[in-house]
Chain A
Amino acid sequence: MSLLEVSDLAKRFGGVVAVDSCSLTVAVDSITGLIGPNGSGKTTLFDLVTGFLQPDAGRVTFQSTAITGLPPDRVHRLGIGRTFQLARVFPRLTVLENLLVPVHRRGLAALLPGAGSEARHARAMLEFLGLAELAGEPAGRLSYGQRKLLELGAVMMSRPRLVLLDEPAGGVNPGLLERIAASIRELNAQGVTFLIVEHNMGFVMDLCDAVVVMDRGRPIASGSPAQVRANPAVLNAYLGA
């Protein structure tokens, strides 16, 4: 069963076609990798799914509901979280406050100070990420790797069903990389589905149970990591043939 379904999605910037009649599905409870050469439209696809860009054509369906063209905050509230390519945090908020921003509260409840259960949840998340010591520090003082972890934690705070990660392994040292992979596996075991854009092939092949390859704005291959690796079209795309 698919959690996210993208059909015939297209986006043009002036004369450049970034995403072109792109269709793909993300299965429930999977960790799906999205790979492809630079400029193949992966980040644009993320922007289209999460509402940061409006598609020129096509449909996005999440849990059998059409979400095409909804604004980003609505998409988030339906249960899709995302991270950005370069680790972005709220630098002048504390590490703990960073985790409390994504908490949703409706109506007058939003006027109340941070309630105990959410703060507890946030502290537990910091323990899980190994950042508990830094709870009161401004997030701007974290190292790049720590920011990546914090970003992952912030995305998880609203308990999303689907998380889109844009290059979680980019610029991260091997030790931290292992911790990020372990966190993703553990969260996946708790029922979170992941769609991951990543250039680190070892990371993708190791972690993902399905892989989609994009080239020039559309998927050219998909399947298990082993199948994708054996597909000659993939090699051609990377070699620019």
Chain B
Amino acid sequence: MRIAAGVLGAAALLLPVLSPDPSFLNIGVFTLMYVGLATAWNISGGYTGYVSLGHAGFFGLGAYTLGLMLGHLRVPGGYAPFLVVPVVGLVTAALALPVGWIALRTRAATFVIVTIAFMFMLQILATNLRPVTGGSQGLGFPVPQGWSPAFVDVPFYYAMLALALLALAISWALRRSQIGLGLLAIRDDEDRALAHGVPTWALKIGAFAVSAGLVGMIGGVYGYYVTYVYPQFVIDPLIGISMVLMAFLGGAGTIAGPVLGALLLEPAQLELAYFAGSARLYLVLYAAVFLAVMLLLPRGIIPSLAARIESWQAAARRA
């Protein structure tokens, strides 16, 4: 496991040097983006079991926050915008607190629906607050000057890599801590966790805000990468559902599951989009993959594999 992680990490670091082909790096940027998103989602959705389908709202919030800050502070294109990204994370996390305060009073299915409602509220706000956000016309980002087309993907690649690693580090540290144990206890039986003195309310809201903050930062970098965002495009329900699907494919609630899910699905999604040519066929194929994952591997690859290996070991012990 550790060796695999090391090899994967080294390969990720060196990819732009080994293969500087921009179209390849472009796939790398999006794959790392989803590694980060699925891992960040998992910190609240996977660990606590509160399945949010509205995280695309925080993704868009991050993109708009960065775009507006760059515009108002007159930050030129180049490396400087990346320095503003941590601020975006704090702003998104802070805005997620009141959202979580309301949404996390509800449980299970109601929670899912409330997160969807919040996402659509943000989408409407982004459309209606025209003087601030540019409405449906969208919002532009500064364009980096002097970065050649061959080079332009490289800084974004490393930015996404850094955010994915940050999300992973937080996810890993939490899983090993008392807080992580509390989050998983909430997922298994929230009332019982409360009876055992777990401060469930603080933990749920905290995990939700951390998760939203990370997603917001990734959204910010995404906006800067694509240079232009508008409401339906950046607060897109499909982005929200994709990160959830990846986490479930690999194994929600595990550290490596969301990473594996993103590494498998995102390149496949991009390939599928290219192969399908039309958005309609893409949707049908995407839905088919999606359904197959959910029906055949409802617990995710890593937990299913772990169970399989354990039963082999048990069989070996008996023999």
Interface residue ranges, A against B (CB under 8 Å) = 50, 52, 71-73, 76-77, 81-82, 84, 88-93, 97, 100-105, 109-114, 154-155, 158
Pick the contact of B178 from A50, A73, A93, A110 — CB < 8 Å?
A110
A–B Cβ pairs within 8 angstroms, 18 of them: A72-B195, A73-B199, A76-B196, A82-B195, A84-B191, A84-B192, A88-B192, A90-B193, A91-B188, A93-B184, A93-B185, A100-B178, A103-B178, A110-B177, A113-B177, A114-B176, A114-B181, A158-B196
In the docked arrangement, what's the CA distance between A71 and B173, Å?
A: 28
Interface residue ranges, B against A (CB under 8 Å) = 173, 176-179, 181-182, 184-185, 187-189, 191-200, 253
- Nearest neighbor of B192 in chain A, beta-carbon distance: A88
- Nearest neighbor of B303 in chain A, beta-carbon distance: A92
B interface, by DSSP: helix, strand, loop or mixed?
helix
In the docked arrangement, what's the CA distance between A103 and B179, Å?
A: 11
Chain A hits for B189, CB < 8 A: 88-91
In the docked arrangement, what's the CA distance between A38 and B221, Å?
A: 61
* Complex contact B197–A77 (CB within 8 A): yes
In the docked arrangement, what's the CA distance between A72 and B195, Å?
A: 6
In the docked arrangement, what's the CA distance between A154 and B197, Å?
A: 11
Known contacts: A92-B187, A100-B181. The answer to whether A76 contacts B192 by CB under 8 A is no
Chain A hits for B178, CB < 8 A: 100, 103, 105, 109-112, 114
Chain B hits for A109, CB < 8 A: 178
In the docked arrangement, what's the CA distance between A84 and B26, Å?
A: 53
In the docked arrangement, what's the CA distance between A160 and B188, Å?
A: 23
Given A73-B197, A100-B181, A111-B173, 16 other A-B residues pairs in contact with their CB atoms under 8 A? A73-B194, A76-B194, A77-B197, A81-B196, A88-B189, A89-B188, A90-B185, A90-B193, A91-B188, A93-B188, A97-B181, A103-B178, A104-B197, A111-B178, A111-B179, A113-B176
- Nearest neighbor of B194 in chain A, beta-carbon distance: A72
Chain A hits for B177, CB < 8 A: 110-114
Q: Which 4 A-B pairs have the closest CB atoms?
A: A76-B197, A90-B188, A102-B196, A113-B176
* Complex contact A73–B188 (CB within 8 A): no
Chain A hits for B194, CB < 8 A: 52, 71-73, 76
In the docked arrangement, what's the CA distance between A103 and B185, Å?
A: 12
Known contacts: A97-B181, A110-B177, A111-B179. The answer to whether A92 contacts B188 by CB under 8 A is yes
* Complex contact A154–B196 (CB within 8 A): yes
Question: In angstroms, how far is the closest chain B Cβ from the Cβ of A186?
Answer: 21
User: Residue among A71, A101, A105 with the most chain B CB within 10 A?
Assistant: A101
* Complex contact B198–A73 (CB within 8 A): yes
Question: In angstroms, how far is the closest chain A Cβ from the Cβ of B50?
Answer: 15
In the docked arrangement, what's the CA distance between A100 and B189, Å?
A: 15
Chain B hits for A104, CB < 8 A: 197
Known contacts: A84-B195, A88-B192. The answer to whether A101 contacts B187 by CB under 8 A is no
- Nearest neighbor of B179 in chain A, beta-carbon distance: A110
Question: In angstroms, how far is the closest chain B Cβ from the Cβ of A99?
Answer: 10
Chain B hits for A90, CB < 8 A: 184-185, 188-189, 192-193
Question: In angstroms, how far is the closest chain B Cβ from the Cβ of A86?
Answer: 11
Pick the contact of A76 from B184, B188, B195 — CB < 8 Å?
B195
In the docked arrangement, what's the CA distance between A52 and B200, Å?
A: 13
In the docked arrangement, what's the CA distance between A85 and B187, Å?
A: 20
Chain B hits for A72, CB < 8 A: 191, 194-195, 197
Chain B hits for A114, CB < 8 A: 176-178, 181
* Complex contact A73–B184 (CB within 8 A): no
In the docked arrangement, what's the CA distance between A220 and B148, Å?
A: 87
In the docked arrangement, what's the CA distance between A114 and B175, Å?
A: 10
- Nearest neighbor of B186 in chain A, beta-carbon distance: A90
Question: In angstroms, how far is the closest chain A Cβ from the Cβ of B151?
Answer: 39
* Complex contact A101–B195 (CB within 8 A): no
User: Residue among B191, B192, B199, B253 with the most chain A CB within 10 A?
Assistant: B192
* Complex contact B188–A102 (CB within 8 A): no
Pick the contact of B185 from A71, A101, A110, A155 — CB < 8 Å?
A101
In the docked arrangement, what's the CA distance between A77 and B191, Å?
A: 15
Question: In angstroms, how far is the closest chain A Cβ from the Cβ of B53?
Answer: 22
Pick the contact of A52 from B173, B184, B191, B253 — CB < 8 Å?
B191
Chain A hits for B173, CB < 8 A: 111
- Nearest neighbor of A110 in chain B, beta-carbon distance: B178
- Nearest neighbor of B178 in chain A, beta-carbon distance: A110
In the docked arrangement, what's the CA distance between A84 and B187, Å?
A: 17
Chain B hits for A102, CB < 8 A: 196-198
In the docked arrangement, what's the CA distance between A112 and B180, Å?
A: 10
User: Residue among B176, B192, B197, B198 with the most chain A CB within 10 A?
Assistant: B197
Chain A hits for B185, CB < 8 A: 90, 93, 101
* Complex contact B195–A92 (CB within 8 A): no
Chain A hits for B197, CB < 8 A: 72-73, 76-77, 102, 104, 158
Chain B hits for A76, CB < 8 A: 194-197
Chain B hits for A89, CB < 8 A: 188-189
In the docked arrangement, what's the CA distance between A92 and B187, Å?
A: 9
In the docked arrangement, what's the CA distance between A154 and B113, Å?
A: 34
Chain B hits for A71, CB < 8 A: 194
- Nearest neighbor of B182 in chain A, beta-carbon distance: A101
Question: In angstroms, how far is the closest chain A Cβ from the Cβ of B172?
Answer: 10
